[in-house]
């Protein structure tokens, strides 16, 4: 499987567990599911930070190009 497919599967599993937490509560989950949820939360945060960092790099590049033109 490629990284995109793995990422989508992890995201789907994260949202499934997150909804379960919202419906039943964290205390009602089994320990294995709690651990999986926390690991997947870290994965989702990492994706978010990578996305934001990529956008900041793009903005920085565009600003530099605009500064060169003026």
pLDDT in tens, 4-57: 788 899 999 999 999 999 999 999 999 999 999 999 999 999 989 999 999 999
Cα 63 off chain centre by: 27
What integer pLDDT is reported at residue 53 of this predicted model? 94
> Would the pLDDT of 3 be above 90?
no
pLDDT at 59 over 80: yes
Residue 1 has pLDDT above 80, yes or no: no
Domain residue extents for the chain = 3-69
pLDDT tops 90 at residue 69:
no
Phi-psi region for residue 25, left (φ > 0), alpha (ψ -120 to 50) or beta?
Answer: left
Residue 66, pLDDT score = 93
């Amino acid at each position: 499987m490629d990284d995109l497919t793995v990422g989508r599967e992890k995201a789907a599993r994260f949202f499934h567990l997150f909804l379960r937490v919202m419906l039943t509560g964290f205390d009602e989950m089994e320990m294995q599911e709690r651990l999986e949820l926390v690991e997947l939360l870290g994965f989702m945060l990492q994706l978010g930070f990578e996305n934001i960092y990529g956008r900041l790099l793009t903005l920085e590049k565009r600003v530099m190009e605009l500064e060169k033109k003026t």
